[in-house]
Chains A and B, each alone.
Chain A
Amino acid sequence: MTPEMLSLSNSPGLFVGIMLLKLLVVFSVTMLIVAYATWCERKVIGHMQTRLGPMRTGWHGLLQPIADGLKLFFKEDIIPTEATRVPFLLAPMMILVPALITVAVIPFGPDLKLGGFLIPQQITDLNVGVLYILAFAGLGIYGIVLAGWSSNSKYSLLGGVRASAQMISYELSAGLTIIAVFMLSETLSLREIVALQQQDLWGVCSFVPNWYVFTQPLAFGLFVITGLAEINRTPFDMPEAESELVSGFCTEYSSMKYALFFMAEYANMIVIAAITATLFLGGWSAPFNIAILTMIPGFVWLLLKIFALMFFFMWLRATFPRVRYDQLMRMGWKVLLPLALANVVITGLVVVILQ
């Protein structure tokens, strides 16, 4: 019997069970990474600045995220009298939910065989997978605008408006950048994009897989930069420039609502790292076609790539000063946008000539 893809029609009970299992695992792994990314960031930056970082709670401060979370739970939930209540309450959820649900289309391994069925190691494979991510990433902007506006505080408003203008500018470049990848892959499904990256490099070298970072190095660089700007990370953390805007759009937030913003920042970081890994670094596939490396399960490779990219983001934060706002906007519209467009045209030219 050739195994067929598990679906609702051929085995509803098993399908729902496995779906819930996958959702639970992916959701808790994401939350776990979110929690420990905060610890990791403080440790990494601490050591880069020859400090130790958190040391008191547990071995080398390992219980710090739990302590932080518990502390925020017991804090007073303040809603300023001047705030507009409904958007003020909705804003933290509107930023965290899109960040958490974009992980649904990231594949984390090859299909598994179980009881005559093929089970994809991915929550769901949409044939418009990348557009799904872009659409929900675009919705995250409401959280920031509404948080800034509804708090009715000057710092929040400035932070919110700055952040939204920055996010839409860089979203444009990000969307344009990845078009070059789809011109090569001819599909928007992340599952197929990963499969295509397992072929031989440029069709000749069978030792190195055909990762798109080799064929699209410019697009890779542009996507990392625009991704950092979209999730408001240093050096693009203008919206919460703490030296001028106190804490930007989340100035007035406290307790768990503040924690949701904090979690959303790290969840977004995971999402950007996961998309970059999937589109340019071969997703869950091993870096070389050696038996020992390919034997290691896919999710290990994916997590390794995500961690490497996140370490890179933290490293950037320890290294770079903040960019000035006018420089940031000029870079988005006058440098990244033309470069991304040029990359699309050059890719097109090369492909047409090769055909």
Chain B
Amino acid sequence: MEILFFYLVALVAVVSGFLVIRCQSPVNSALGLVNTFFCLAIFYVMLHAPFMAAIQVMVYAGAIMVLILFVIMLLNLGTEARKSYLHGIVWSGLASLAVLFNVIYFIKRGRVTGAEGDITDFTVQSVGHVELIGKTMFTEFLLPFEIASILLLVAIVGAVVLAKKEV
């Protein structure tokens, strides 16, 4: 049952990913990308990570894709902006196939070794995913968290510098 559902969602994700690169209109491509993000969110839910799923939808689908849509509208890329890019399609195709085989190989080869860690499926379900993330992020990974805030500060400055003429 669950595996069937997984394949169904995976199929939708792959098809909409394909639409992203094959659609004539950039807006339709953007919609395809939103759908792909949504499917990824469903995968996060299936991996018992509902918080990640919500963040995936909120930040990627809800914020970043809105900006991308705005940019498509700004550049005025209607359906006229059609141009097929075919150069390098053989090499990039071969490279992606190699990466795909690599991934499949490592997935098939790998198996869990050593002792089980503290955080298992059971802990995630009994303590709660958000609580676990909060606890780990604000004790163990405190420094990366504070560095992230500096990164975001740089992003704010960058946004203003890019968009404002006279800084």
Bind each other: yes
Chain A residues packing against B (C-beta within 8 Å):
84, 86-87, 90, 126-128, 131-132, 134-136, 138-139, 141-142, 145-146, 149-150, 161, 164, 168, 171, 187-188
CB closest residue in chain A, given B127:
A127
Check if A138 sits within 8 Å of B129, measured CB to CB: no
In the complex where A84-B27, A84-B79, A149-B27 touch, is A127 in contact with B58 (Cβ < 8 A)? no
A328 to B79, CA, bound (A): 34
Residue pairs across A and B with Cβ atoms less than 8 A apart, 29 shown, are A84-B25, A86-B28, A86-B31, A87-B28, A87-B31, A126-B50, A127-B128, A128-B54, A128-B129, A131-B54, A131-B55, A131-B58, A134-B54, A135-B41, A135-B53, A135-B61, A138-B57, A138-B61, A138-B62, A139-B62, A142-B31, A142-B66, A145-B66, A145-B69, A149-B27, A149-B73, A161-B70, A164-B70, A188-B130
- Report how far A84 CA is from B30 CA in the complex, Å: 14
- Say yes or no for B13: interface residue by CB 8 A criterion: no
Q: How far is the CB of B26 from chain A (nearest CB, A)?
A: 11
Given A135-B53, A149-B73, 13 more A-B residue pairs with CB atoms under 8 Å apart are: A84-B79, A87-B28, A87-B31, A90-B31, A127-B129, A131-B51, A136-B57, A138-B61, A142-B69, A145-B66, A146-B27, A146-B31, A171-B62
In the bound complex, CA of A90 to CA of B61 (Å): 16
How many angstroms between the C-alpha atoms of A87 and B54 in the bound complex?
Answer: 24
Given known A127-B128, A128-B130, contact A135–B63 (CB-CB < 8 A) = no
Closest to A152 in B: B78
Q: Mark B47-77, 1 if CB is under 8 A from A, else 0.
A: 0001101110110011101100110010000
Closest chain-B Cβ to A348's Cβ sits at a distance in Å of 13
CA distance A90 to B57 in the complex (A): 19
Contacts of B79 in A (CB 8 A): 84
- A139 contacts which chain B residues (CB < 8 A)? 57, 61-62
CB < 8 Å neighbour of B66 from A135, A141, A150: A141
Report chain A residues within 8 Å CB of B69.
142, 145-146, 149
- The residues of B that contact A150 with a CB separation of less than 8 Å are 27
Complex alpha-carbon distance, A135 and B41, angstroms: 11
Q: Chain B: interface secondary structure?
A: helix
The smallest C-beta distance from B51 to any residue of chain A, in angstroms, reads 6
Give the 10 A-B residue pairs with the shortest CB-CB distance, closest first: A138-B62, A131-B54, A135-B57, A128-B50, A135-B58, A135-B54, A127-B128, A128-B54, A128-B51, A138-B58
Cβ-based interface call for B20 (8 A): no
B39 at the interface (CB under 8 A from A): no
CB distance from B49 to the nearest CB of A (A): 10
Q: How large is the interface on B (under 10, 10 to 19, 20 to 34, 35 or more residues)?
A: 20 to 34
Taken together as a complex, chains A and B put the C-alpha atoms of A139 and B69 apart, in Å, by: 13
Q: Which of A132, A142, A187 contacts B54 (CB 8 A)?
A: A132
B34 near A: Cβ within 8 Å? Answer: yes
A168 touches B28 (CB 8 A): no
CA distance A187 to B86 in the complex (A): 52
Contact partner, A135, options B27, B34, B62, Cβ 8 Å? B62
Assuming A87-B28, A138-B57, A150-B27, is B66 touching A127 (CB within 8 A)? Answer: no
B164 to chain A, nearest CB (A): 15
Query: In the bound complex, do residue A141 and residue B62 qualify as a contact, i.e. CB atoms below 8 Å apart?
Result: yes
> How distant is B42 from chain A, measured CB to nearest CB, in Å?
12
User: CA A202 – CA B15 in complex, angstroms?
Assistant: 54
Kindly list chain A residues whose C-beta atoms are within 8 Å of the C-beta of B51. 128, 131
| In contact, B27 and A87 (Cβ under 8 angstroms) | yes
Smallest CB-CB separation from B67: which chain A residue? A168
Give A138's nearest chain B residue, CB to CB. Answer: B62
Q: Which residue of A lies closest to B72 (CB)?
A: A149
Return the chain B residue nearest A90 by Cβ: B31
Q: Shortest distance in angstroms between B135's beta carbon and chain A's nearest beta carbon?
A: 12
- Cβ contacts under 8 Å, B128 to chain A: 127, 187
User: Which residues of chain B come closer than 8 Å to A142, judged between CB atoms?
Assistant: 31, 34, 65-66, 69
